Structure 1
Amino acid sequence: MAQKTVPGTSLEGSRPTYMYKVVLLGSMSVGKSSLAYRYVRNDFREFLPTVGCSFFTQTLELEEATVKFEIWDTAGQEKYQSVCHLYYRDAHAALLVYDIASKETLKRAKLWLEDLEKKFLPDEIVIALVGNKTDLAAEREVTTEEGEEFAQTKGLLFLETSAKSNYQVNDIFMAIVQELLRREKEKASAPSPQGRSTVNLSESRARKRCCQL
């Protein structure tokens, strides 16, 4: 799995620390940058179209672990599509963001999913479908049921959000955290060929080096 685990302990000295790369994918103006900014800064800003990629970090001190997010906000313009794969290489999670007031952006999110499915095995990445801009409910073109049904058929996490009104922004990132940690526990409990769980720290460090862009 493309899992990057950072050996060590948290501030309390007992919890493991994990570092995860999270990418935001979707069409231009669906609110990817605003979602990331709301989550990291708890504030709302309307951004100009991202050029290439923007980068955010967030650290969560949870009861069971310390989680460090590297959040990569990719450009939505078609002209940057050919280089976006460089930014989501070795990602551990992806948010496929669409605008609930634009059915076309959901179609684009589905294309991003097809691209991810070519690059990752199912257990290598956590993917969430995010219907953003619920504050534009009067202009809705994509129903909640439509987004939810597609997510279920593909085994994706799903939530609708609003970066502007701060609706369920923390919830979608927390859902990703919980799924990543669930997979960590599952991986740790799986028996090794020798009959017990092992952690290859040298492999983890090597992966950390190679995952840097």
Structure 2
Amino acid sequence: MAKAAGPSQPAVAPAQPHVFKLVLLGSSSVGKSSLALRYVRDKFRDLLPTVGCAFFTKDLSLGVTSVRLEIWDTAGQEKYHSVCHLYFRGAQAAVLVYDITRKDSLGQAQRWLQELRQENSLEDVVVMLVGNKADLGSEREVTFQEGKEFAESQGLLFTEASALLGDQVTELFTSVAQELLQREEQKDAVPQQGSPLPLDGAPTRQSKCCAH
């Protein structure tokens, strides 16, 4: 005899992903677009300079949590400089790119960081400094230590990567996403102004991430 089926269980709607806006900043030809293309499509090709801004999205899973990165790839050319401000306003994360074979590109990255500060409070923005073209070590003008020391002085995350080889590309974006998610969870855990205190009357305290 066939066994009667029990009541069907209601379908559980998948949780909506956490959506974060991320901008790629840096001077022309440091490889911002190549990093984005390698990360989103796992491809590499020589690209013409970005005109204005290009847009990518990438979904990733961090444990049981889904994250969607909305990646805005800004043009590094001077003639588009003023337009780029329109794209990185309100960004929650920035990947600040320089070319390890060009000393001047690290100096220009510092300028981009200052301009990001003018549009956003860096306390609210996760910034990863990336030395791209790590595969060209024989042509290096910026040492790993120089990049690391600058990042530490500004409270930034830091890594070197190679868009050509794909080295550390997925890892750098994943690290940014993890930091964004951690900050969001910490923010949600802190009572808003006017919210009741815990039952023991003790104020809660937000921990500060220091893994840079």
TM-score category (smaller protein): 0.7 to 0.9
The verdict on how the C-alpha distance between 1:55 and 1:84 changes in structure 2, with shifts beyond 3 A counting, is same
**Residues 126 and 180, structure 2, Cα contact 8 Å, conserved in 1:** yes
Q: CA deviation at 1:98?
A: 0.3
Calculate percent identity across the aligned residue pairs: 53
Aligned equivalent of 1:162: 162
Distance in 2, Cα, partners of 1:147 & 1:12 = 46
SS, match of residue 134 in structure 1: coil
Deviations 1:178-210 (A, max 9, x none): 11011011101101222269xxxxxxxxxxxxx
Deviations 1:61-99 (A, max 9, x none): 232311111111111101110110001111110011000
Distance in 2, Cα, partners of 1:120 & 1:75 = 19
**Residues 101 and 140, structure 1, Cα contact 8 Å, conserved in 2:** yes
Distance in 1, Cα, partners of 2:146 & 2:105 = 13
Deviations 1:9-30 (A, max 9, x none): xx97465521111110111110
Distance in 2, Cα, partners of 1:14 & 1:84 = 35
Aligned equivalent of 1:210: none
Distance in 1, Cα, partners of 2:18 & 2:41 = 21
Taking the TM superposition and a 5 Å limit, the aligned residue runs for 1:43-58 are 43-58=43-58
**Residues 161 and 167, structure 2, Cα contact 8 Å, conserved in 1:** yes
- CA radius of gyration, larger in: 2
Aligned equivalent of 2:99: 99
Q: Which amino acid aligns with 2:74?
A: T
Aligned equivalent of 2:25: 25
**Residues 50 and 75, structure 1, Cα contact 8 Å, conserved in 2:** yes
Aligned equivalent of 1:88: 88
Distance in 2, Cα, partners of 1:27 & 1:196 = 48
Q: Which amino acid aligns with 1:126?
A: V
**Structure in which a larger fraction of residues adopt helix:** 1
Q: TM-score, normalised by structure 2?
A: 0.84
Instruction: Give yes or no for the alignment of 1:149 onto 2:146.
Output: no
Q: Size of the alignment, in residue pairs?
A: 187
The verdict on how the C-alpha distance between 1:66 and 1:137 changes in structure 2, with shifts beyond 3 A counting, is same
Instruction: Give yes or no for the alignment of 1:195 onto 2:212.
Output: no
SS, match of residue 85 in structure 2: helix
Distance in 1, Cα, partners of 2:64 & 2:186 = 14
Aligned equivalent of 2:127: 127
Range moving further from structure 2, 62-71 or 103-112: 62-71
The verdict on how the C-alpha distance between 1:12 and 1:26 changes in structure 2, with shifts beyond 3 A counting, is farther
Range moving further from structure 2, 77-86 or 58-67: 58-67
Distance in 1, Cα, partners of 2:36 & 2:176 = 14
Q: Which amino acid aligns with 2:178?
A: Q
SS, match of residue 131 in structure 1: strand
Aligned equivalent of 1:111: 111
**Residues 15 and 64, structure 1, Cα contact 8 Å, conserved in 2:** no
Structure 2: give runs of 5+ residues left out of the alignment. Answer: 1-10, 199-212
CA RMSD of aligned residues (A): 1.7
SS, match of residue 60 in structure 1: strand
